[in-house]
Structure 1
Amino acid sequence: MSGTQAALELDDIQSGVLAPRPTPYAATYLVFHIGDRAHGRELMRRASAVVTSAADLVSPSGETWVSVALTCHGLEVLGVPSASLETFAWEFRQGMAARARALGDDGESSPEHWEAPLGTPDVHVVLTAVAPDPERLEAAIDRARPAYEQLTGVTAIWRQECYALPTETEHFGYRDGVSHPVVEGSGIAGSNRLETPLKAGEFVLGYRDEIGGIQMPQPETLGRNGSYAAFRKLRQDVAAFRRYLRQAATSPEDEELLAAKMMGRWRSGAPLALSPQHDDPALGADPGRRNTFLYAREDPAGFVTPAGCHIRRANPRDASVAGEVRLHRMIRRGAVYGSPLPDVDLENDGVDRGLMFAFIGAHLGRQFEFVQSQWMNDSVFFGAGDAKDPVAGSHDGSGGFTVPRRPVRRRLPPLPRFVVTRGGEYCFLPGLRALRWLGDLRD
């Protein structure tokens, strides 16, 4: 079977699946509704000529790219047969809104409070454009515009501008996008030289994964070289986060230490694992060093990097936890939206700000949903009950955060919810041949 081939067909994989984003960069998410099947198919044909392949990563166009993804409703509207749709992951077929309970999207984060039209059957296509700066971003959008202009049966219904600063920081003040897995056959280096490359089938459909299986929707022309994506708009309550740290800390220095213990890194990106006593901005700025560490031998009990902190939950590395860590690794992309809150402010200014999060992988269930439900919003996997991620967890004000230390652990006050889901979608990122196949569908 062709799915057993080890070499990745990079010329058929969208660059947005594997390409690391430039720093800094600007990005735009555009959501479309297909009201006319023929026009939707024409959009796919045109998009196949605009989307950059992963084979172009080293070319000048490698840092400016457009990707195209479809929801299950979008595939259905295009006329993909039901027998084919049934071969896709069942989480994808349900959609993110239907999976809200498993994802911890309750209270303010529940789908009834989401930003329209996210989470509804009206969302069919998600186009993402990324470039090193706003000028080149507009140029990329201009190149993509012919793909949907003059198609009266295709309507743009939502748009979100976002960006990454030269400092790579998000609104809570931490350097973001530090950890990237190594995908076997991609030719792209990972961020941790101690990590063994992961099988391509963990991220791209049609190849063997870590347990020897091959996930691929049918027909092969449609499924091979595709990936699943989860897009989420996450609002960050920056003022509440700052107030919490200020009230829990005993000094400005202690405030920064608590921020590092909650994240697992200092704000500069320097990990506690390599700089446990103080921040090290030079380390945080060094992509060759800042992510090269493990936990099992040096810090099994989490006295340096707490087991419940954000980065250790998202990737326990070689730590002893329930489950096989390598089966839950994922490619993560993040970009901020909205203007930063001034550094001295402890009250909100009314501006909507947060993070546009994107997951890329071949297993929505055991990658994205598992990490979100079992690692972010629970602590059973490392023996700490139902405590949640201190930064991104779905808190209700009843649970706190424990900092392991000798001789007595430090228990922080109950945590409010700092991050609220404003909407999201499960999507399929087809290969370039699949985009053409979708364009050539006939009733």
Structure 2
Amino acid sequence: MSVLADLRARFSRERVKLQLDDIQALILRSRPEPYVGLHAMLHVDEAEGGRDLVRRLAPHIPAADDWTDDMDAWTGVAISHAGLKALGVPEASLKSFPLPFQKGMAARAEQLRDFGENAPDRWEDAFRPGTCHIALTIYARDEDALEKAIKVAMTELEASHGVTLVGTHSFGADADAKNPFGFRDSISQPTVAGGGVDPRGDERAIAAGEFILGENSETGAPVAMPEPAPLGRNGSFVVLRKYQSAVGAFNDFIRANADSEADQEKLAAKMFGRWRSGAPLILAPDHDDEALGADRSRNNDFNFAEDPKGLVCPHSAHMRRLNPRDSQLTILTDVNIHRIIRRSSTFGPKWTPDVTAADDAKDDRGIFFIFISARAYDTIEFLQQEWINRGNFIDLGTEKDPIVALHEEPGTFTIPQEPARKRVNGVTTFNRLMGGEYLFMPSLTALRWIGEAGWH
């Protein structure tokens, strides 16, 4: 069953409590499988021309009102703080945004642990501070649909003035929807309360205010919202981080630390927390299970209650770190206020086991890690500081995430075993940060408000 078919089967219009006709579809709508798409980064050179482009684009941004219906392609638009300023948004409104968003991602390098090879002075030009003002993302089912959607967007850009296209990047994956390392991607997605979809199994819906500004959050009250209401309400925040994936280095690491092909696959699964099919270790501890990995009613319906020691899925596995579920954590936190809607996109050649580190320099292969949350900046900075680049919260000291952390020196991956745990040494940086930005995804009302200079 496809992602869309699964959501449609659990959707009921009677359960909708959100203003879906004002929310960008991209917030709730999962990418198709297979999928293709384009990220485009724009710089606003002149406020009036920039607002004209926003006004022209607004009618082409679909609302979430029909987010479970078939669509050949859809476009989302997000704007950085520097972009809002360049568009002429009043100072009072600019100051009402969260401080990390006001500063921009590059200026938060300390909080994000973006040092060394991940430091902003090494980022691609399109992501240098103050460059990416408007980000367009287009998802499509196939190349023909993508070409049509790109033509619409580029026609509006060409008809406007005072805006420069500073970068584009194509992406896509086949029906397996796997990431650069060959693992099924973006399986764990929260069910948004009020969106009309029933949660599955033991899952509970997460309060809408964790994702949609103006709605009640997990605390029982809305997260602070940008002002005025036409600007903030029904919007959300976006974290965009582009990574170049060292797939060959990862393959070499697995081969160096496991003898047989079966053992190599198991070590890779221990590091990710899932097998390549998407089957979670907690449900398939000994070998991959393709049917389980493809079954959307089962591949994310689990918890870690019966694996408190991490003997099946290591505490340091990438998946368990970023979604501990009901794991016992040394540093307490409410995992439900760190849930995110993932919209990541893979680019480059599909994974094969024969790729080596020697191939990494010549392959343009990686992932745009993109997520949506009303607490996006608090969440990514918490993730980077605690769950990704430290191990204190799971009693592992300085041990880092084996997949996405920055390893300035070779690190360790711990596999709990009895009677003694196993430590695999030599973990390096398998995903190098190439750039990113903090973005605001306005409601459709807000896009019109910006495009028409509604503050006048």
Q: CA deviation at 1:348?
A: 3.3
- Tell me how far 1:341 sits from its aligned partner: 5.4
Residue in 2 that maps onto 1:390: 402
User: Which stretch shows the higher mean deviation, 69-78 or 337-346?
Assistant: 337-346
1:175 equivalent in structure 2: 184
Distance 2:154 2:140 in 1: 15
Which amino acid is 1:314 matched to? Answer: L
Give, in whole Å, the separation in 1 of the partners of 2:112 and 2:260: 35
Cα RMSD of the aligned pairs, angstroms, is 1.5
Deviation at 1:434, TM superposition (A): 0.4
Given that 1:69 and 1:427 are in contact with CA atoms closer than 8 Å, whether structure 2 keeps it comes out as yes
Alpha-carbon displacement from aligned partner over 1:220-252 (angstroms, at most 9, x marks no partner):
000000000011110100110001010111322
1:72 to 81, 88, 97: 81
Letter of the structure 2 residue corresponding to residue 208 of structure 1: N
CA contact (8 A) 1:330 1:368 kept: no
The count of residues paired between Structure 1 and Structure 2 equals 435
Partner secondary structure for residue 117 of structure 1: helix
Aligned-partner Cα distance in 1 for 2:183–2:304: 21
SS of equivalent to 1:427: strand
Q: Cα distance, 1:407 vs. partner?
A: 1.4
Letter in 2 for 1:37: A
Say whether residues 1:412 and 2:412 are aligned partners.
Answer: no
Alignment of 1:168-247 (within 5 A): 168-188=177-197, 193-215=201-223, 216-247=225-256
Note if 1:26 corresponds to 2:26: no
Q: What does residue 261 of structure 2 align with?
A: 252
Unaligned runs of 5+ in 1: 1-5
Report how far residue 214 of structure 1 moved.
1.4
**1:61-117 superposed Cα distances (whole Å, 9 cap, x missing partner):** 3x5210111000110011111111111111111111111222222111111110102
Indicate which of 327, 333, 339 corresponds to 1:323: 333
The alpha-carbon deviation at position 273 of structure 1 amounts to: 0.4
2:119 alignment counterpart: 110
Once residues 123 and 152 of structure 1 are traced to their aligned partners in structure 2, the CA distance between those partners, rounded to angstroms, is: 17
Distance 1:17 1:300 in 2: 34
- Structure 2 counterpart of 1:284, from 293, 302, 326: 293
Contact 1:199 1:210 in 2 (8 A): yes
Aligned to 2:55: 45
Asked if 1:313 corresponds to 2:321, the answer is yes
Structure 1 position 32, deviation (Å): 0.8
- Whole-Å Cα distance in 2 between the matches of residues 80 and 421 of structure 1? 30
1:119 to partner: Cα distance: 3.2
**Structure 2 unmatched ranges of 5 or more:** 1-15
Q: Distance in 2 between matches of 1:75 and 1:157?
A: 17
Shift of 1:360: 0.2
Is this contact kept in 2: 1:29–1:127, CA < 8 A? Answer: yes
Letter in 2 for 1:387: E
Q: Which moved more, 1:257-266 or 1:345-354?
A: 345-354
Equivalent positions of 1:291-306 (< 5 A) are 291-296=300-305, 298-306=306-314
1:98 alignment counterpart:
107
TM superposition score normalised by structure 1: 0.95
Deviation at residue 122 of structure 1 after TM alignment: 2.2
Q: Which residue of 2 aligns with 1:369?
A: 381
Q: Distance in 2 between matches of 1:347 and 1:368?
A: 29
Equivalent pair of 2:182/2:350 in contact (CA under 8 Å): no
TM-aligned CA deviation for residue 189 of structure 1: 5.0
Per the TM alignment, residue 340 of structure 1 is displaced from its structure 2 partner at its CA by 3.1
Give the structure 2 partner of residue 332 of structure 1: 342
Amino acid at match of 2:336: R
Matched AA of 1:410: K
Normalization by structure 2: what TM-score?
0.92
- Cα 1:178–1:427, aligned 2, differ >3 Å: closer, same or farther? same
Q: State the identity as a percent.
A: 43
**In structure 2, C-alpha distance between the alignment counterparts of 1:44 and 1:117, rounded to whole Å:** 19
**Which letter maps to 1:431?**
S
Given the superposition, is the C-alpha separation of residues 169 and 341 from structure 1 closer, same or farther in structure 2, using an over 3 Å criterion? Answer: closer
| Paired residue type of 2:283 | L
